[in-house]
Structures are given as C-alpha cells and as structure tokens.
Amino acid sequence: MKILFLAFLFATNLYAWELKVVKARGEVLFANKPIKENDILKTNGDLVVGEKSFVKFLAVGPGSEVVIGPKSSMRLELEKGTAETAFVLKDGACRWITKAKNLAEYLDGPKSGGMKKVLGTKTASLGLRGTDFLFVSNELLGETEVVMFDGEVELSNNSNDSDSKILRKNYWGGVGGRFGEQVKVLPELPKNVIDHFKKSLE
C-alpha cells in the first residue's frame, strides 16, 4: 500500500501545468495530433494553430485563461523541471488572463522581481502576477510585444539579464525588431486603442 501511495504521489508531481481545452476552432495541433474541447494537456510538445483557427485553455490550478490566435505556434513545456519557461510563443499572438495574484504560490521555478517567469519568446521572457495582457511574437522580425490590459508584468531581455522593465495597465512595450535591442516601454494607450487590442483575442 505504501509503495502504491508513493508511486501515486510521484506521478501527480510530474507536471507543473495541466491545460484543459475550453474551445478549439479550426485546425489546432498539439504534438502533431488534433486536439478538441475538454482534452487535457500536461506533457511537452509543440502547439500549432492554423489560419482562421484559435484555441482557448484553462490552466488548472492558478486558473489562468490562455487564448492562442490564428497562425500561431507555441512550445509547451508542461512537465516539471524540463525548461525555465513553460510557454514559449514562437510566432503569433496570445491573450493571457491570470486569476492568481502570484503564480509563485502555485509553481516552483525562477522568479524575477518576485514574479514567476512563465511565458517567453526567443528574445524575451515575462514575469507574471495577477494580470491581463496581449503577447505577440514576430518570428520574422525577431520582435516581442506586450499590450497591458490590467495588472503588471516584468518584460526581460533574454540577451541581457540587466535589461528589464515593468509594464502596467494600459501601457505597451517590447524588445527586438522595431523596438530595438533594449526593452522599451511606450506611452500609455488611449481607451479606444486598448479596446481594439482586447477584441483581437477575446
């Protein structure tokens, strides 16, 4: 009985994240296999969302909602200890809404300024608290962009550990491509522009 309990305990701790598919429209593949509503993802693999397609996840535990837009690709490292950043957006757009005030309450791993590094691209990584934002990766330009709707994130430059900025509600910024080699925070956006970005991935 004790051996069975230990085996069960070990098995339940293999995964840092479990994602429940809330909606899947069009062509959505994970590890080269189609996924559908109510599927549970908890292993490592590549997520690919086709043209005129999207997928919405609920992250079990912290209760984060994640929407991946059309023509997007993301590397998911959901198993514990396999990567510093669990979600790496290779190309495309992602809407992220975190219900927990601090993801570090739920997950082990590196933190920056008290924020858990959860989401990243080739050029940047994000430290998250309770927050709502649009995250965009342009693979062609080598560019990462963040538009904040609520809360705050810390945007860090992957090529320079000392280069990071805090982005707060209604601000936007990025690094690489049109933003330049250092993290840049741009002026506060007016409500009509924020509303436009929100509608792009609701």
Average pLDDT over residues 106-134: 76
Partners of 96 in the beta sheet?
66, 133
pLDDT above 50 (res 150): yes
Position 74 confidence tier, pLDDT thresholds 50, 70, 90? very high
Alpha-carbon gap, residue 30 to 68, rounded angstroms: 12
Output the six-digit token pair for 142. Answer: 């080598």
pLDDT score recorded for residue 94 = 97
What CATH number labels 2-200?
A: 2.60.120.1440
152 has a pLDDT exceeding 70: yes
Q: Residue 155 pLDDT > 90, yes or no?
A: yes
Residues 37-42 have a mean pLDDT of: 96
Confidence of residue 114 (pLDDT cuts 50, 70, 90): low
Query: What is the domain partition of the chain in residue ranges?
Result: 2-200
pLDDT score recorded for residue 54: 96
Residues in the chain: 202
Tell which residue, 106, 118, 194, has the closest CA to residue 156: 118
Please say whether the beta carbons of 165 and 148 come within 8 A: no
